[in-house]
Amino acid sequence: MQIPFAASERSTVGIEWELALVDSDSGDLRQVAQTVLDAVAPEGADQHPHIRQELLLNTVEVVSGVCRTVGEAGADLQRAIDEIREVTDPLRVELMCAGTHPFANWTHQKVTDKERYATLIDRTQWWGRQMLIYGVHVHVGIEDRDKVLPISRAMLTYYGHLQALSASSPFWGGKETGYASNRALMFQQLPTAGLPFQFEEWGQLEGYVEDMLHTGVIDVFDEIRWDLRPSPKFGTLEVRVCDGIPTMSELLSISALTHCLVEHFSSELDAGRELPTIPPWFAQENKWRSARYGMDAILILDKHAEEDLITTDLHRLLDTLEPVAERLGCVEELGGIHDVVAGGASYQRQRRVAALNGGELDAVVGSLVEEMRAGRPVLHPS
């Protein structure tokens, strides 16, 4: 079979942000997504252009348009959030984002009444029902299909950096998991989820998709849920590595890092230089290390098994990407990565709040709600 790759302007960017709907008083999840979606849908349209339905009725997704900068994408998302709040504020419902809700019970959550979601749950059963998780997806336009797979393979060398920076799911079902990102390891239990295969040629991807369709593993391409995947209908590379990100400032910083990495690798290809790669077994180990240890992880940096602390390598990476950020108009946003390193990723802040409140996780939800409102991290003493 043939999979056409849509024409896309180079290094355009779009962001998808999954948000939890929580009760203002209890902090528990509220099943009011359909109420929100009905209220914001334009007259005569099936859905809002920037506010979308998700698997569970406790979730809405805000999506940007196709933008030139992450700042423009953020403005799209903020307008959508403001519109949602006009509906949710009178309902005493708050918006919150993290890889997982710290204490909500997955058995109490209702699935959106759509055939594709019912099919997913019917197939995946216990694992599918447990997917009480939230993520961020960043699309970056790639103008030439032949660049997509090389850039995707190169992005795996920085997979752990993106996962650690966004890690925000240390708690699940009211328990401390011991992981910075419990979401990362939960989500990969689904069929076709997890790390992508490192195909060398587009024809190999087409052969894989044909096999998956023929054997009934998937019905459509989008049911391939890799952490990094081509998006043929948009002409983008879709980076799905990140946990749910609690604040607009962090969202834009991590999206800027993603945006700059893709553009950097695209420029390297233009210059005729070979892109970095990492063996699948190192990529798998880095995923586990960054999920387990977050910003304290020591990552395997290359195919030669060189290792370093993620924080040390991030400083080198930001220096490399500074001229790319200037071209893409995101110097300020990329610089915010330094703030995440200095102030702590979300999982670190959540643990601090829990410790300050005797382990009470409703306080953690309260801090996440506060951060979403503020648009930036709210730092607490260690």
Write the pLDDT tens digit of every residue in 298-338.
999 999 999 999 999 999 999 999 999 999 999 999 999 99
Mean of pLDDT values over 114-130: 69
Domains of the chain: 12-374 (3.30.590.20)
pLDDT at 128: 67
Cβ atoms of 63 and 15 within 8 Å: the answer is yes
Alpha helices by DSSP H, 329-380: 331-343, 346-356, 361-374
In this predicted structure, the answer to whether residue 55 has a pLDDT above a threshold of 80 is: no
> pLDDT by residue (tens digit) across 2-19?
999 999 999 999 999 999
For the segment 214-223, what is each residue's pLDDT rounded down to a tens digit? Answer: 999 999 999 9
What percent of the chain clears pLDDT 70, i.e. is strictly above it?
A: 96
pLDDT band at 110 (very low <50, low <70, confident <90, very high): confident
Tell me what pLDDT residue 382 has: 61
Confidence of residue 134 (pLDDT cuts 50, 70, 90): very high
Q: What is the pLDDT of residue 23?
A: 97
pLDDT range class, residue 53, cuts 50, 70, 90: confident
* Tens-digit pLDDT profile for residues 160-194: 999 999 999 999 999 999 999 999 999 998 889 99
Q: Is 1 exposed, middle or buried (0-12, 13-18, 19+ CB in 10 A)?
A: exposed
Mean pLDDT of the 253-271 span: 98
Which pLDDT score is estimated for 126? 66
Radius of gyration of the chain (CA): 20
146 contacts: CB under 8 Å, gap ≥ 6: 202
Residue 116's pLDDT is 66
Nearest to 58 by CA among 81, 29, 17: 29
pTM, two decimals, is: 0.96
In this predicted structure, the answer to whether residue 96 has a pLDDT above a threshold of 90 is yes
The pLDDT value given to residue 106: 76
Q: Among residues 233, 135, 245, which one has the least CA distance to residue 193?
A: 135
- Mean pLDDT calculated for residue range 47-76: 94
Give 339-351 as a DSSP string: HHHHH--HHHHHH
DSSP state of 189: T
Residue 380 exposed, middle or buried by CB count within 10 Å (0-12, 13-18, 19+):
middle
Residue range 144-148: mean pLDDT, rounded: 97
| Average pLDDT of the segment spanning 339-348 | 97
- How many angstroms separate the most distant Cα atoms in the chain? 57
